[in-house]
Every structure is written in structure tokens, then in C-alpha cells.
Amino acid sequence: MKRAICAYAARGAHWPSYTRCRASTTRLKAHHQFRVIATHASPSWTVRLNDVVLPGISNTLNALTGYSEVVKLKERVLAKDAELNMKKAALEASRNKYEELIESRRKMQRELNALLNRKDTWLDSDVERFTLLYRQEITLEQDENTAKQLYKNASEVMEKAHVELLSEIRERYIEEQLYSDKIRSVSTWYTWALILVHLTVFLSAQFLVEPARRERFHAELSELIKNTAHLNQNAVEKQFMVELRPLVARLDELELLHSGSSNVSVIAVKEEDEGKMMRYTICRHAARYRSIIHPFAKHPTSSIASQYQTRSFRGTVMDTWLPALRQDRPTFLTKAWRSYRWLSLKKFLQATFTYVRLWYTLRPVEKASPPKMKQQFEELYLKMNEELAAYNFEQLAKILSPPMQNAMQVEMAKLKRMGKMYWKSHGKASKTKFLHAVIAKTPNQMQEVFQFTMEMNYRQSVVLYKEKKGWDGSLSRDIVGGNADKIVPIREYIVFERIITYKEGSRDAGIKSYGNWRIAGKLEHHTPSLDTH
């Protein structure tokens, strides 16, 4: 039929050709034969994996971990549960049969009693009926006793099966608890072993692999630099000798003629060719000191310090130490890193002792908690900037220490000559941080000085302008510097100071004055040059 369809389609204008239909039919037959062969072929490796390999691995793991016992107990519990259901069904059947027999005997007894009540009027049929009913009652009584005994036996069997089921459930629960404890213990040891392996790999990488790799890289880089320097030096010397060979010969002649006066030879050559004379002098000095100064030798360089928009006023700051910036910290586990960490630890212990001493001293009058101290420092910082912008030295003197007052007075005079100032704070750019704290006593032991170094980072806008009065009395403002619309985050390191005065120069005599927080100075973050290799 397919051939007929294809032949008919070949005669049509819009149907595929007979050759295409024949090829399509051949492909369908081949695909059908391939599916038949695949269906009757041997099981593939995936079937064997799912039916043989994986169950075998699962059984082996269950036998090793003890889960096979849990599985056996689970199967026993299921079997006991099925047995209990069967016993319940048998008990229900025996109880129904026992109740049916009781009901049948009750009906028969009612009929016998009715016949006995009209005994005087019995007929022959009644006598026969009474005899039959009496015989049936005796049979029913025997059947009832038998059913009662069967019902009792079924109840006992069901109770026994119920007790056995509870016992199996209890054993399964205990076995599962033991298995869970075992798995939990194994999991704990596995976790600790994994942590130990990771720690070993990390320490090996840090103390064995990384130093060796760093040394190898350093040696390869040093060798490459030396080779490059040597090649460059040879190339430069060859080029200089080619270009300056006539000049060198002329200089040798001049030195022979004027051996007593080196200045005459230099002047003569310099008049002839000033540029070549300078290069020749450099070449001779380089050749003379080549064994001392290597062209690619390592020279100490200072790191670029962070730029700030404020000036530093140290005043009476007792300790100007600041922690290094993140990008300027030394490389991990180097000598410079150990020195820096040891210094940071000492500064941290010193700051902790200072805070504890301050908290204990101020305990009778106020609670010197870190959040409260931060709030006080932020208020002082904002007030200092506001009073400085307003050129109000009287209010500024109340929150500055005397040395800081002198420094700020000079700064304020310079700003006044430049014009008026507008300053505004737009909130904190980051949280205020404690950086350092120190404590000291005056030589007369009358006062104790506490200084805290804080990092203040506020978004600020500032502008400096001059006011001019026109011929018509109008005021015009010429901006000298800054931009009121530009908000810039400014990070400053402010030192706050508090002086405690004692009576009679002794702490035991009592405190005369607790003092107030003042600003003792501003610090600028200068980054030291650290050898990070």
C-alpha cells in the first residue's frame, strides 16, 4: 500500500517524489529493526548497575555500620503488625459468631417459654415443636460454650500478639538509638579528621609550599634582573665606546699635554662639544664606581602618605602612633609583619589599661562607656569645626587644650585674612573608631592625663569666600576656595584629652577635679616604609 501511495503521490503536483517516499520508508524500517534488536538484546550496564552493583554496595555498608540489624527488626515489626491484624480479624469473627449463638438461643428460649405458658392447650403439633426446640436448645448451648471458649482463646492470642509487637517495637527503637549514637560518633570523628586534614594542608601551604615558591620566584626574578642589567650595561658601553672613541682619543692626548691641570683639558673639550663631554664624564664615573654601585641595586623608598584635606596640630599629644593602613601593612608571616603585630599588641594592652583606669576613676561621677565616650567625642569634633568656621575663638578655647588653642589661633588668623568660611556636616561616612589611648602623670604628681586617639570620618562641605560691597551698596561674594555643593568625606585623627586633678598630689587623698574632655591635637597618617619581602 505504501508503494501505491508513493506512486500516487509521484503523479501529484504538490506531493513529494516517489524516490523521497521510498527513502523515508527505508529509514522507518531500519529504525524499527534497531528498536527490536535493542529490546531483545542483553541488559545494559545501567540495568546491571541499578539491580546488582548498587544493592550490593548498600548491603555491604549496612553490614559494616550495623544498619542491617535495624532493617531486620523493622521487618519483624512489620510481620508482627500483620500477625496482630490477623488475630484481630479472627477475634472479631469469633466474637460475632458467639453473639449470634447467644441471640439464637435467646429467641429459642422465648419460644419455649411461650409454649410452656399455654401447656394446657397443647396440640400434637405443639408437643412435637416443644421437643424439637428443646433438642435445638441443647445443641445451641453446646455450640455457645464452644464459641465462648474460642472467643476467649482468640482474645488471649491477640493480647499475646500485641505484647510481642510492643516488644519488637521497643527493640527496634533501642537498636535505632544505638545506631544513631554510633553514626553521630563516627560523624564527629570524621569532622575532626577533616578539620585536621584541612589545617595540615593550610599550614603546609603556608610554611612549606609558599616560602619555597617565594624563594624560587625571588631567585628567578633576581637572575632575570641581573641578566637584563648585564645585557643593558654591555649594550650601553658598546654604544658609548663607538660614539665616543674619537673623543676618548682626543682626551687622552689632552691629558698627556696638560697632565698638571685637569681643568684646562675639561674646558677645551667642553668648548668643542659640550654634550659629549658630559656623557664622557658620566661614563668615566660609572666605570670607576661600577663595582660599588649596581645600576639595579635596591634603594630604600618611602611609601606615599595618605593625603588629607586638613593640617596636623600635635600640641601636647603624648603618643602619635597610628595603626598602619590596610594597603600599607607588611606581608603575612614576614619579619616586618611580626614586628608590626608585636607593636600593635603592646599598644592594645596599653590602651586597654588606660580605659580601665579611666573607667575606675570616673565611676563615682559618670559611666565612661565606649558608646557614651564616642558620642561626646563626636559632639566636640562637630563643635570645633562649627566654631572654627564662625571664627569664634572664645567658644573654641573652651573645647581645646592650651597648646591646641595657640595653633588654632594662628590658623584662624590666616583664614580670616583670606575671607569668610562656610562649613556644614552631612553625617558620618563611617563609624567612629578607637585607635589608641595613653595615660601619664605630671611631674608634680598632681594631675593624671588621659588621651584617646579617634578616627573621625564625616561627609563635609566647605567654602571660603570674600564679601565685597558694590557702589550701590549690594554685597557680592567671590569664592576663594572650596565648593558648597560638593560633599567630600574627610577622615581625621583627633586626640581627645581629659585631665584629672588630685588633692595634695596623691590619689589616695581624693580627686579635686574631674575635668572635661578637650581636643589636644590632630594627627596625620604618615606611612612608614616597611620591607615586605
**pLDDT tens profile 282-292:** 344 333 333 33
pLDDT band at 506 (very low <50, low <70, confident <90, very high): low
Cα separation, 18 vs 11, in Å, equals: 9
Distance of CA 489 to the CA centre of its chain: 27
When pLDDT is cut at 50, 70 and 90, the band that residue 24 belongs to is: low
Altogether, the residues listed in the chain come to a count of 533
User: If one looks up domain 311-523 in CATH, what number appears?
Assistant: 3.10.450.240
**% pLDDT > 90, the chain:** 5
* DSSP conformation letters of 203-242: HHIIIIIHHHHHHHHHHHHHHHHHHHHHHHHHHHHHHHHH
Other Cβ atoms less than 10 A from the Cβ of 418: the count is 12
Distance CA 226, CA 155 (A): 102
> What kind and span of H or E run contains 424?
strand 420-428
CA pair distance 377, 393, nearest whole angstrom: 19
Q: 3-class SS at 19? A: helix
Closest by CA to 495, choosing from 393, 381, 396, 388, is 381
Mean pLDDT along residues 55-67: 79
For the chain, which residues make up each domain, given as ranges?
A: 52-200, 311-523
Residue 366 phi/psi, 5-degree rounding, is -155, 165
The one-character DSSP state at 517 is -
Confidence of residue 452 (pLDDT cuts 50, 70, 90): very high
- Helix (H, G, I), strand (E, B), or coil: what is residue 318? coil
Q: Which residue reads 589636644 in cell numbers?
A: 520
pTM of the model: 0.43
- In angstroms, rounded to a whole number, what is the distance separating the alpha carbons of residues 499 and 511? 11
Reading the block at residue 10, the C-alpha cell is 509521484
Return the minimum-mean-pLDDT range out of 8-12, 175-179, 341-345, 347-351: 8-12
Domain topology for 52-200: Helix Hairpins (1.10.287)
R_g (Cα) of the chain, nearest Å: 54
Listed range (69-78, 195-204, 259-268, 328-337) with the worst mean pLDDT = 259-268
Higher pLDDT, 328 or 309: 328
Q: Which residues of 220-249 are buried (b: 16+ CB within 10 A; e: fewer)?
A: eeeeeeeeeeeeeeeeeeeebeeebeebee
Higher-pLDDT residue of 9, 428? 428
Dig out the grid coordinates for 465 from the structure.
569666600
Q: For the chain, what is the mean pLDDT?
A: 75
pLDDT score of 198:
92
Q: Which residues lie closer than 8 Å to 314 by C-beta, 6 or more apart? A: 320, 521, 522, 523
Q: Which residues is 499 bridged to in the sheet?
A: 449
User: Is the pLDDT confidence value at 48 over 90?
Assistant: no
Distance of alpha carbon 390 from alpha carbon 381, whole angstroms: 14
Asked if pLDDT for residue 197 goes beyond 90, the answer is yes
pLDDT for 194 equals 92
CA angle 169/174/178 to nearest 5° reads 145
Mean pLDDT of 76-96: 89
Separation CA 162–CA 182 (nearest Å): 30
Residue 29 has a pLDDT of: 55
Q: Name the maximum alpha-carbon separation found in the chain.
A: 187
Which residues on neighbouring strands pair with residue 519, listed in sequence order? 400, 496
**Pick from 339, 347, 329: nearest CA to 529:** 329
Q: What is the DSSP string of 448-504?
A: EEEEEEEEEEEEEEEEEEEEEE-TTS-EEEEEEEE-TT--EEEEEEEEEEEEEEEGG
pLDDT for 507: 66
Count the alpha carbons within 13 Å of 191 in the hemisphere toward its beta carbon: 6
Q: Which three cell numbers stand for residue 427?
A: 553625617
- Rounded Cα distance, 177 and 73, in Å: 13
Which carries the bigger pLDDT value, residue 86 or residue 302?
A: 86
Max avg pLDDT among 56-70, 94-108, 250-264, 307-321: 94-108
Rounded-to-integer distance, Cα 135 and Cα 117, Å: 19
Chain segment 123-151, per-residue pLDDT in tens? 888 888 888 888 888 888 888 888 889 88
Q: Is pLDDT above 60 for 263? A: no
**Is residue 310 a contact partner of residue 489, using CB atoms and an 8 Å limit?**
no
Per-residue pLDDT for 51 more than 50?
yes
- Equal CATH topology for 52-200 and 311-523: no
User: Quick check: 378 and 457 in contact, CB under 8 A?
Assistant: no
Q: CA of 504: how far to CAs of 447, 498, 501, 507, in Å?
A: 10, 19, 9, 9
pLDDT at residue 256, rounded to an integer: 54
